[in-house]
């Protein structure tokens, strides 16, 4: 990684930055301190405009999704961004104003619909309140006349005419009154009460005692007319909203344009946020950043082509510089597994190739079915061809494709092709009793019968995996010239594990081998006791050495952990077998055939889903917990070049 500094004329700024953004060669580094004689250019206001436009497009797309859902295929999430010609950017830019106008319009229409539906709710509350006054033939707001006071309202109980008049008389026998009950149901009585104006206060007291309340919705028309008007208004609003909705649907043809425009503004906002950080003088500006060594020539060529500038580069400080992973086609797909854990720091080696190999290998061993493997390879091949996904998605798919290849081979080793489907189907149609092992021309290792054997094999693979991890540690220590750590901390343990392996072999074969293994192990143990306390003082030296032997438990538990290779391999096989068995249980009639096909398809789909997930998760765990813990530090910064970070479009490279 190199540090690079480009000094160029301000008039070239737009062109140069655009080209750098297109090429995605350098990661821009903010100046750490204020440099004398330089100042910043404030472009925050432009940036805000761009960001607001991005936001506007985003909400518009959401609105469009609500009213006119985009028709998407089931697999469309695999498809890559749309490719556009570099020359089209000018067109997009000149159209952007128009598109933003459309976005505003869609937003306004949406606001109208939202407002309308809020008003609809208000209307429907008013209507339900007016419901009980439908029979009233005077306005609710009717005022007192010269001689008569009018009370219109409700009481919180049900009364008949007689009960009400009795109740009022009981409250105040002097009160003269006349009333009319409008509505009486649900613990509520709506009434109109007339009293002489001289007795108004008396009547108010009586009514208050009875819990009288005035209606919420006042109107100077009769309730019937008011309700009619409200209904009419509601209908108008409905039509209005519908019209607005139709307009939005009509405008949804612009969806693609909006997406493209959003990306356009997103890219520009990115660029301006970089400009905001750069140092400027009156005539020149300075870009500082990191660049991978091999790309430096390209950058120089590019800059000289588009601007008048001065470029200098020097070796970057390793501790601060970001890390760019560089891998071949075989191991690149596994890079995402590595970065999910942590990008390597400057002290680490890049373990991706090892990771990739073991990832494919173990995944295949766990998923272990030739049929499923083939299916993965073919399905992913088709998806890659048809949808042309973006780099990251393509790498993820490739990861599973390679895993599929390994799954295929392990399936052949275990004699499992969609479980025992070939044998089951053969037996089903010919009424014979053949097994997979008899059917396949090559010798197979049946995880069910030879489980113990397979467990030993799994742990042996585990041993290799762990030794490789420790080998990396050895290499790293050696490179840092920490020979004590390399030989004593790592080397002795590696030898010790080898010793254990030899003991294991010896137990199965001859005594001599066993003694050799035991000799190695004991020698290593002595070595460890002698060396592990080397940084401690006095008595601590012995204790430290002895205590280090306790680590043997962690190695044993690590090794046992690899028995999951057997367990998951077995799970896939047995589940497939169970479904095959279920499928052929319904006899040979037409119905039986239909059942067979349905159960097989469904069963194997479930099996693939469950066990692919299990294999993925557990393979990952073996890498992270068992292998990485031996040597990998992580915690580096990933190289993130200044580039076109778009969501929907990508720009075709000039060829």
Partner 1 sequence: MFTNGMFFALVGASIATALAGFGSAKGVGGAAQASMGVLSEDSSKFGKMLVLTLLPGTQGLYGFIVGFLILVNCGVLGGDVPSIAQGLAFLGASLAIGIGGMVSGFAQGRAAVSGIAMSAKDDRNFSKAMVSVTLVEIYALLSFIVSLLVVISVPALKI
* # residues contacting partner 1 (CB under 8 A): 29
Phi, psi of 154 (to 5 degrees): -130, 155
CA–CA distances in Å: residue 205 to residues 81, 165, 169, 199: 76, 15, 13, 10
Q: Which of the residues 454 through 493 are near partner 1 (CB under 8 A)?
A: 455
Residue 215 or 469 with smaller CB distance to partner 1: 469
CA–CA distances in Å: residue 636 to residues 143, 292, 339, 344: 82, 15, 10, 5
Chain length of the chain: 655
DSSP letter, residue 551: G
Q: Are 179 and 189 in contact (CB under 8 A)?
A: no
Residue 59 or 145 with smaller CB distance to partner 1: 59
CB of 341 to partner 1, least distance (A): 6
Closest to 218 (Cα-Cα) out of 130, 126, 151, 140: 140
Instruction: Concatenate the DSSP letters of all residues of 557-612 into one string.
Output: HHHHHTTHHHHHHHHHHHHHHHHHHHHGGG-SSHHHHHHHHHHHHHHHHHHHHHHH
542-561 mask for partner 1 (x: CB under 8 A)?
Answer: ---------------x--xx
Q: How far is CA 595 from the centre of its chain?
A: 37
Residue 171 or 450 with smaller CB distance to partner 1: 450
Rule CB under 8 A: is residue 210 a binding residue for partner 1? no
Residue 455 or 502 with smaller CB distance to partner 1: 455
Residue 238 or 340 with smaller CB distance to partner 1: 340
Q: Which residue has the tokens 């031996």?
A: 630
CB of 459 to partner 1, least distance (A): 11
Residue 113 or 575 with smaller CB distance to partner 1: 575
Residue 134 or 554 with smaller CB distance to partner 1: 554
Q: Which of the residues 563 through 622 are near partner 1 (CB under 8 A)?
A: 563-564, 566-567, 570-571, 574-575, 578, 581, 610, 613-614, 617-618, 620-621
- The Cα 300–Cα 517 span in angstroms is 60
Q: Which residue has the tokens 């949804």?
A: 252
Alpha helix (H) residue ranges in 131-180:
161-171
Phi, psi of 575 (to 5 degrees): -60, -45
Closest to 371 (Cα-Cα) out of 566, 577, 563, 596: 577
Q: Which of the residues 422 through 461 are near partner 1 (CB under 8 A)?
A: 448-449, 451-452, 455
CB of 440 to partner 1, least distance (A): 20
CB of 578 to partner 1, least distance (A): 6
Tokens (6 digits) for 282: 């009156």
Residue 259 or 564 with smaller CB distance to partner 1: 564
CB of 216 to partner 1, least distance (A): 35
CB of 334 to partner 1, least distance (A): 13
Q: Which residue has the tokens 């010269």?
A: 146
CB of 358 to partner 1, least distance (A): 16
Residue 41 or 567 with smaller CB distance to partner 1: 567
CB of 549 to partner 1, least distance (A): 23
Q: How far is CA 256 from the centre of its chain?
A: 24
Residue 8 or 380 with smaller CB distance to partner 1: 380
Closest to 646 (Cα-Cα) out of 54, 11, 143, 45: 54
CB of 624 to partner 1, least distance (A): 5
Q: Which of 138, 238, 340, 602 binds partner 1 (CB under 8 A)?
A: 340
Residue 592 or 614 with smaller CB distance to partner 1: 614
CB of 81 to partner 1, least distance (A): 18
Q: What angle do CA 270, 275, 280 make, to 5 degrees?
A: 175
CB of 571 to partner 1, least distance (A): 6
DSSP letter, residue 152: E
Rule CB under 8 A: is residue 625 a binding residue for partner 1? yes
Rule CB under 8 A: is residue 294 a binding residue for partner 1? no
Residue 89 or 582 with smaller CB distance to partner 1: 582
Tokens (6 digits) for 115: 């407002």
What residues have CB less than 8 Å from 577, skipping those under 6 apart? 419, 420
- Number of Cβ within 10 Å of residue 272's Cβ equals 20
- The Cα 240–Cα 173 span in angstroms is 56
CB of 448 to partner 1, least distance (A): 7
Closest to 618 (Cα-Cα) out of 446, 403, 408: 403
Binding site for partner 1 (CB under 8 A): 340-341, 448-449, 451-452, 455, 557, 560-561, 563-564, 566-567, 570-571, 574-575, 578, 581, 610, 613-614, 617-618, 620-621, 624-625
């Amino acid at each position: 990684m190199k540090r690079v500094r480009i000094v160029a004329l301000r008039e070239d700024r737009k062109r140069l930055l655009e080209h750098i953004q297109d090429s995605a060669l350098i990661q821009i580094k903010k100046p750490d301190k204020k440099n004398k004689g330089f100042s910043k250019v404030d472009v925050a206001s432009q940036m805000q405009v761009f960001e607001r436009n991005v936001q506007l497009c985003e909400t518009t797309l959401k609105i469009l999704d609500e009213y006119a859902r985009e028709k998407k295929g089931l697999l469309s999430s695999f498809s890559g961004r749309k490719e556009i010609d570099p020359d089209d950017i000018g067109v997009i830019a000149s159209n952007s104003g128009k598109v933003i106008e459309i976005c505003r319009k869609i937003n306004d229409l949406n606001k109208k619909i939202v407002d309308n539906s809020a008003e609809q709710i208000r209307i429907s509350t008013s209507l339900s309140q007016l419901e009980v006054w439908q029979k009233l033939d005077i306005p609710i707001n009717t005022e007192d006349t010269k001689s008569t006071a009018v009370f219109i309202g409700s009481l919180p109980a049900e009364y008949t005419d007689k009960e009400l008049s009795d109740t009022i008389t009981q409250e105040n026998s002097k009160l003269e009154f006349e009333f009319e009950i409008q509505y009486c149901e649900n613990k509520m009585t709506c009434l109109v009460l007339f009293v002489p104006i001289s007795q108004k206060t008396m009547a108010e007291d009586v009514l208050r005692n009875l819990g009288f309340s005035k209606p919420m919705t006042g109107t100077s028309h009769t309730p019937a007319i008011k309700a009619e008007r409200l209904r009419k208004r509601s209908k108008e609003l409905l039509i209005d909203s519908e019209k607005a909705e139709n307009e939005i649907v009509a405008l949804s043809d612009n969806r693609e344009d909006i997406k493209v425009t959003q990306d356009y503004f997103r890219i520009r906002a990115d660029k301006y946020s970089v400009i905001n950080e750069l140092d400027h003088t009156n005539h020149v500006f300075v870009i500082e950043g990191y660049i991978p060594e091999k790309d430096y020539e390209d950058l120089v060529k590019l800059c000289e082509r588009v601007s008048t500038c001065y470029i200098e580069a020097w070796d970057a400080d390793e501790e601060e510089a970001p890390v760019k992973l560089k891998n071949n086609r075989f191991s690149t797909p596994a890079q995402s597994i590595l970065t999910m854990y942590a990008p390597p720091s400057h002290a680490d080696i890049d373990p991706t190739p090892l990771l990739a190999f073991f990832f494919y290998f173990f995944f295949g061993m766990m998923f272990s079915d030739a049929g499923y493997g083939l299916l993965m390879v073919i399905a992913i091949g088709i998806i890659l061809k048809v949808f042309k996904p973006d780099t990251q998605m393509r790498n993820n798919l490739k990861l599973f494709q390679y895993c599929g290849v390994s799954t295929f081979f392990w399936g052949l080793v275990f004699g499992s092709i969609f479980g025992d489907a070939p044998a089951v189907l053969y037996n089903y149609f010919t009424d014979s009793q053949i097994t997979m092992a008899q059917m396949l021309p090559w010798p197979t290792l049946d995880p069910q019968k030879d489980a113990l054997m397979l467990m030993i094999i799994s742990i042996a693979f585990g041993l290799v995996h762990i030794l490789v991890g420790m080998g990396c540690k050895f290499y790293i220590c050696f490179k840092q010239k920490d020979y004590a750590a390399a030989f004593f901390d790592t080397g002795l343990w590696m030898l010790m594990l080898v010793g254990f392996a030899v003991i294991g072999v010896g137990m199965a074969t001859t005594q001599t081998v066993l003694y050799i293994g035991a000799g190695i192990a004991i020698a290593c143990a002595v070595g460890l006791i002698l060396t592990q306390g080397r940084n401690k003082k006095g008595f601590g030296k012995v204790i430290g050495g002895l205590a280090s032997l306790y680590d043997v438990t962690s190695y044993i538990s690590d090794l046992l952990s690899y028995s999951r290779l057997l367990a998951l391999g077995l799970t896939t096989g047995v589940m497939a077998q169970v479904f095959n068995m279920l499928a052929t249980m319904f006899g040979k009639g037409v119905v039986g055939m239909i059942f067979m096909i349905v159960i097989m398809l469904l069963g194997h789909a479930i099996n693939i889903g469950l066990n692919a997930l299990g294999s993925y998760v557990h393979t990952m765990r073996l890498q992270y917990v068992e292998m990485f813990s031996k040597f990998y530090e992580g915690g580096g910064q990933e190289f993130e070049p200044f580039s076109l970070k778009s969501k929907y479009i990508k720009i075709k490279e000039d060829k």
